[in-house]
Structure 1
Amino acid sequence: MVDSMSTPPPRAANDLFLDSLDTHPLWFKPNLFLSPTLDTESYISELRTFVPFDTLRTELQAHLASLSHELIDLINRDYADFVNLSTKLVDVDAAVVRMRAPLLELREKIEGFRGSLEGSLVALRNGLQQRSEAAAAREVLELLLDTFHVVSKVEKLIKELPSVPADWSNGDLSSTIKNAMSNGTSLQPVESGTNLRETQSMLLERIASEMNRLKFYMAHTQNLSFIVNMEKRIQSASLLLDASLGHENAIYDCLRAYAAIDNTKSAEEIFRTTIVAPLICKIFPHGPSGMVAGVSGDGLENDYHQIKQCIQKDCKFLLEISSAENSGLHVFDFLANSILKEVLSAIQKGKPGAFSPGRPTEFLMNYKSSLDFLAQLEGYCPSRSSVAKFRGEVVYAEFMKQWNIGVYFSLRFQEIAGALDSALAATSLVLVQNSHSGHGNLQDLSLKQSATLLESLRSCWREDVHILSCSDKFLRLSLQLLARYSNWLSSGLAGWKTSNAASHSGYEWAVSAVPDDFVYIIHDITYLATEVCGGYLDHVLQCLSSCSPDILDLVKQSILQGGKSLNDLAPLAINAIIELLVDKAVEVSSVKSD
């Protein structure tokens, strides 16, 4: 038997109070040693981060002793079976040899079967790859054959095209039919030149369709020697088609052909140079210097009126064709790339001064006329999406860039704000002369400074000054004018009795003010506040009537606040009058007492 005296070393005194020998600290978990994935080094390293090395070593030795003690107990308990175990393991090597033979034989069969299966799989994959390559080669060959047939067909159709003349006014109908038949063209007898022209247009559309099909084939057969060798023939056919379309008098009938070959830019350019340019040239007859010959001034309103008439008379038919529903011609934008482009070019060459904001009044008239012209063009758009497309064109953006609204507003700002600053810079209050100014009831105001404020406020929203796109800037300017006037009055009234007002430029008027002046001020403040919150506010809201209700409400609140700031000045003026009268009374009483 195993020596039972090999007991573990005695445990510490503290262990005597534990429930059993298997009690361990909470950080020590013996069950982890039974895990097949236990990494002892990682486990010990992790414990050493918070357990002293001596404590860890003691605990491990104690656990080892406990395991040894448990093993000895198991051996002693089943000692007979432990001894008989060695006697039962007899001739184990022979048994292993007998078992190994069939296993080796089975392994050889499996490896042979696997080799055969891998060979079949490789052969199958090679066959599938060859089949795929053959299918791809066949597809390419079919594309090449189709490409060759399409090129030959296009060349044949182009050769037949000259047999149908574009202009039938001087042509011989019978000779044309005879030529067409001699060239193998299946042309049916017709009774008029219009039918023959339609036949030619149909032939052009057919050629264009084949060219579009040819582009598709070329996109899928790039870098092939066969296609490279045919590039010259394809380019030649494309050039001949473009030339035929460009010389076709019936431009309207060629739109489908241009759309089919995705060459809308050429059609738009031909329409611009052939139809639009001669019409615009009559309206803007350029001289040698490029300016409009025999015309003085840069006004555009009359020019736009003539352009609108020309569009209605000579271009409406094409515009209706290109915008017709389900016509397939929506890819064209003759409004922007033909008409607007030519108009912009004519104005830039003939009347460049029309875009100059240096003359604000003429600039505004031309700008509003231009917006009206653009609105007229948008009237030819059949839907909102076409309007959005028109506005998204490059030439539309280029046209709008010509109008420098920022510079225009800066000039108006200097003009309007400068007038008020000049009036407020006076060293004394100036009474208004009893003369009608033509801008409303300005004669009802007593002081020139107040009249200038009201006139400046109204100038911001006059029809010949205001621009809707700058409404936010003009509103800010209006509020700034009110604030400037209120600050001028409040600062003067607050310091009229001291030397503070005299030390600031623009407030000297308060030092020499008399009671009558403050009466004028109270009258003007009351009148201005009533006008700003009444008729003036209504006029501003009318100018902005196209804005949303939320925006109109914000505008209303801001102007009412400006009017309130004027009303708040009235008590200051009244107090000034009271103090002046008191001072006068004191002076009089002092003189009498003397």
Structure 2
Amino acid sequence: MAALLSPSRSRPDDRDRLGLDRLAEELEERELRSPNASNFPEHILPAFVPLSHDNPYLAAESFNVQEFLLSRSYTSLPDLRSELRDYLANLKDELVRLINDDYEAFISLSTDLRGEGARMEKLQRPLSELRNQVLESQHELQAIQDNVQEKLKKRAALRDEKAFLHLLLKISESVTRLESLLLIAAPSDMATLTSPHEQDGDRTDDRTRGNRSKHLSRVAAEYNQLLYHVSKAQAKNSAFVQEIQWRIDRIKSTLSTDLDHLFSTTIIALTEGKVPGRETKLSESDRAKWLSDVTECLRTYDMLGQWRDAEEVLRRDLVRDFVKKTIFPGALSAPHSPVMPHTPLPAPGYTTSRTPYTPFSAFASKQNPFDVSFASSAHAHLLDDSDDPLAELYNTVLKWVERDLKRVMDAAERACVKTVANSGGGTNGLLSALVKSQKPEQEGQKGDRFAIMANVVWAEIGKAIIDELGNVVFAAGKPDEFRKHYETTQAFIRALEFLAPSETAIEVMRSHPVYSSFDRRWQLPVYFQLRWKEIVTKLEEVLVLTKLERNATKANAPFVTTQGAAVWDAVATCWSAQVYIPELGFRFWRLNLQILSRYKTWLDASLPALDASSKQGLQVLPIPGTPPTAGRAVTPNLPTEAASAESVAADELLITQLATAMTDIKALESQMWKIWREELGIMLPRGSDDAEGEEGVLEDALRHALSQLLSLIPPLSSQIIYILSRRGCDALLPMRSIPSQFRAMSPSKRLPTEPSHFVSLIFKPLRGFFGVGAADGPASMLKEQFLKAYAEEVFEIVAQRYIHFLASMKKTEESLRRLKKGKKSTFSLFGGSSASKEDDGRADEEKIRAQMILDVDAFGKDAANLGVSVDESESYRALREIAHSPLSDDGTHPPPA
């Protein structure tokens, strides 16, 4: 390599015709000059490592020939063979050495084991004898253990029998004691104790009644204990329990009868405010004692698991009579007797949370009745019953429930809570489970607690409304009455739920079969179809005329057509308080989207045909908030002659129609987003888990529907810009006569100081279109959104045409100058006259140039007043350059941008 790169070999000769030496030398010099030359790694020569036991390839579990040969790639095959033979010889030497070292120990092993067999036999004889003795002892111990286990089993059986006999004795004693407590053996005495209200005595009867409620509570506890013992005895199929089962059933029947009678008597006395058979009313202290007895009875019912029996007593003795007297076929036309409330008792310490509030306008108070601040209130929230017999009827029911049943429901709730807290899953909990298993529950009455609101109050009231007032309340085929009754009824249900003692009671009420039947009777789809027919029929009557006519009245504001106002009125009607129902929110939402699509179809049929030439050379104006479209053209394709009066009138009518459509489209978009933010985003029903995602889907649907309408604006804008640009270019036509005007003037006239009259006419159509400086215009409502964008487009197009006119004018003037120079004579007797004519020509050119500069500056000022950034316009900069550039003798001029 050194010889190859040596200087003596660097010059090409006959043997190196390709110049390889020179190329190698240049490559070496380039590598030496490279800044990364020092970073190249040094080449390390392979080191020779002899074969040994430490070689990883030889010590591997499976020998790989390829890897071993690659590791010795720098060794030739003969050398490698020699190394392997040497290594094999070393292995044989080590093996022989290993055998010679251990041979003596191997030979001495056989001599050391002589005579050990007899010794092993001597050791084996006593071990067999010892094994026999151990096995014999094991059999004796096993026999003793079996005897002990048999005696223990007999004792356990005797102990179980004794415990079972004690259990039967407890059952017998409990049955006897319960029969004694309930006076089953002596019916006359039992009647005396169970009917103290029939005695006409003094205050001793009240004490007997109070003691009677506690007495029945203790009897119920004893009866639960008896059921617990009976369940344990029945697990062993006791014949004794089967023999006395009829006595247990008699105890249960007697206890239930006594409890029902006491509870009925106490409830009637508490609601009527006096003891049966007496004329004097109860005092507040007596009323509190009666309420305590009611609570004790309810706690006893809960202890026995007889929740449905207590509800049946309330339904039979209290609720059913009131419902029959209040809800009947002529109830809405008959006068209602006022329900006088009781003097309110102190609010109990037990508070419950309330159901979430669904807003209805039927409440008399504007305050939210389900707000947390009302949680401790003891009064029902009444409906606005002015001129509404149904609301008056519902108020009567609410007052009665608040007066007679709310305290009972609260007491029942407290009794359930106290029982659950005291049971803690112990014996009482097992007893409750046993009672529930013995008494099957009916459909709609499931649960291990009181459900007075669902099974008593709502079951009777809801069924009475369906049976007695169904034809009036549900008002099939009368949407106005249906909406009013539905709103009033829903407000009544929410007010009734407010009187519920807990959220659990509300959930049970909403899952009750009567609630489901009541909900199905409303037939909301039928109501929606009637409203749909009203809204669509009224809208189609207006949209039958497919013609854009401005009717910008105060009633149609902010729309300028009757059709646009009708579309918005149809949308707003869906969400008005007289039409909207929350359960039909998605159906009304779908109707809104259909209305927007129908309006898009009407606009397609009503818009005039657009001029195809407006799409050539014009930029489609982007909608604010949407991505821009293609860039603007450099040279607009506009007519070169002034339009006729008929064409101008047709253009005015056309842009007025287009502006009318754009105004209504933008107004509808604004109104839709406004109602979405203020109402629809709140009124539409949501899912419980995916509310935000669902709202995003609805918003995307609205955005898509509006985008279909907004897609009409770009072609309409292109047509309007085309017309306004063409009329602006028509205003430029008088500028072509400026040179002839200045040449016809007196040479002594000074330079011009004011712009030409046509400059102010360029943007006059645009100002009139948007109503700038005027009272009104076709697109005055679109001024803030489109004025600047339209002005920029018209300015660019007119500036391009202005450049074209100025360039043509300068070419004409330069051609005239060259023609005049060619006609001049080389010799003239009156040479002074030629110079004078030449000076006059240059003076006219200066005046024309000054006028062009004034006109271009005035053109830029007018555009700047409309919000156009003229300094950033390349067309306007090119226009100014052409206007300021003087005429050249050789006929060249700066090219337009």
Q: TM-score, normalised by structure 2?
A: 0.46
Shift of the alpha carbon at 1:218? Answer: 2.5
Partner residue in 2 for 1:245:
259
Q: Report the CA distance shift for 1:453/1:577 in structure 2 as closer, same or farther (over 3 A).
A: same
Provide the C-alpha distance between the structure 1 equivalents of 2:122 and 2:694, rounded to a whole number of angstroms: 104
Pairing partner for 2:199 from 160, 166, 171: 171
Opposite residue 198 of structure 1, the aligned amino acid is G
Q: Distance in 1 between matches of 2:557 and 2:123?
A: 128
Q: Is contact 1:208–1:261 with CA below 8 Å preserved after alignment? A: yes
1:522 matched residue in structure 2: 662
Which residue in the other structure is 2:299 paired with? 256
1:235 to 219, 240, 249: 249
| Match runs of 1:410-559 below 5 Å | 411-413=530-532, 415-417=534-536, 419-420=538-539, 423-424=542-543, 426=544, 428-429=546-547, 441-442=555-556, 445-490=559-604, 493=607, 515=654, 517-534=657-674, 537-540=677-680, 543=683, 554=696
1:215 and 2:358 are equivalent in the alignment: no
Quick check: 2:182–2:255 contact (8 Å CA) kept in 1?
yes
Post-superposition shift, 1:581? 11
Q: 1:400 to 1:100 in 2, by over 3 A?
A: same
Residue deviations 1:283-323, cap 9 Å, x none?
2226xxxx97988xx98433312211221233233233224
Residue 56 of structure 1 aligns with which residue? none
Give the deviation of 1:212 after TM superposition.
Answer: 2.1
**Aligned partner of 1:322 among 412, 419, 428:** 412
The one-letter code of the counterpart of 1:379 is: F
Residue identity opposite 1:221 in structure 2: A
- TM-superposed deviation, 1:413: 4.2
Matched, 1:283 2:401: no
1:372-391 correspondence runs (5 A):
372-384=491-503, 387-388=506-507, 390-391=509-510
Task: Give SS of 1:247's match.
Answer: helix
User: How many Å apart are 1:578 and its aligned residue?
Assistant: 7.5
Instruction: State the Cα deviation string for residues 523-551 of structure 1 (Å, max 9, x = none).
Output: 43343334334467535467579999968
Q: Given the alignment of the two structures, is residue 369 of structure 1 paired with residue 397 of structure 2, yes or no?
A: no
CA displacement at 1:278 relative to structure 2: 0.9
Match of 1:311 among 398, 401, 407: 401
Q: From the superposition, tell whether residues 93 and 263 of structure 1 become closer, same or farther in structure 2 (CA, over 3 Å).
A: same
Q: Distance in 1 between matches of 2:488 and 2:592?
A: 26
SS at match of 1:462: coil
Distance 1:83 1:336 in 2: 101
CA distance in 2, matches of 1:540, 1:78: 103
Q: Is residue 138 of structure 2 the alignment partner of residue 114 of structure 1?
A: yes
User: What SS does the corresponding residue of 2:566 show, helix, strand or coil?
Assistant: helix
Q: 2:182 aligns with which of 154, 158, 166?
A: 158
CA distance in 2, matches of 1:476, 1:227: 69
Counterparts in 2 of 1:325 and 1:202: CA distance versus 1, 3 Å: closer
Q: Tell whether the 8 Å contact from 1:493 to 1:573 is kept in structure 2 after alignment.
A: no
Residues in 1 aligned to 2:232 and 2:483: alpha-carbon distance in whole angstroms: 55
Deviations 1:356-410 (A, max 9, x none): 6644333333332232222222223455555455545565555445444455445
Shift of 1:250: 1.5
Q: Which moved more, 1:392-401 or 1:543-552?
A: 543-552
Pair 1:98-2:241 in alignment: no
Matching residue of 2:890: none
Task: Answer yes or no: is 1:201 the counterpart of 2:213.
Answer: yes
SS at match of 2:578: coil
- Contact 1:533 1:560 (8 Å CA) reproduced: no
Give the 5 Å matches for 1:34-73. none
Q: Is the 8 A contact 2:298 2:411 kept in 1?
A: no
**Out of 447, 460, 466, which is 1:348 matched to?**
466
Q: CA deviation at 1:457?
A: 0.6
Distance (Å, rounded) in 2 between the aligned partners of 1:346 and 1:352: 9
Match of 2:244, SS? Answer: helix
**Partner letter of residue 323 of structure 2?**
I
- Larger helix proportion, structure 1 or 2? 1
Instruction: Tell me the CA shift for residue 465 of structure 1.
Output: 1.6
Q: Distance in 2 between the 1:145 and 1:18 partners?
A: 96
Q: Quickly say closer, same or farther: Cα 1:78–1:422, change in 2 above 3 A.
A: same
- Judge conservation of contact 2:463–2:514 (CA < 8 Å) in 1: no
Contact 2:607–2:658 (CA under 8 A) maintained in structure 1: no
Alpha-carbon RMSD across the aligned residues, in angstroms, is: 4.7
Instruction: Give TM-score, length-normalised by structure 1.
Output: 0.67
Q: What 5-or-longer segments of structure 1 have no aligned partner? A: 1-16, 29-68, 174-189, 499-513, 584-594
C-alpha change, 1:494 and 1:246, in structure 2 (3 Å) is farther
1:144 to 168, 186, 190: 168
Deviation at 1:161, TM superposition (A): 3.8
Q: Deviations over 1:343-365 (max 9, x none)?
A: 11102211233346644333333
C-alpha distance in structure 1 between counterparts of 2:193 and 2:107, whole Å: 120
Larger deviation: 259-268 or 222-231? 222-231
- Paired letter, 1:373: F
How far the C-alpha of 1:518 sits from its partner, in A, is 4.0
Question: Can you give the 5+ residue segments of structure 2 that lack an aligned partner in the other structure?
Answer: 1-50, 64-95, 184-188, 268-293, 335-387, 421-448, 613-652, 727-897
Shift of 1:340: 0.5
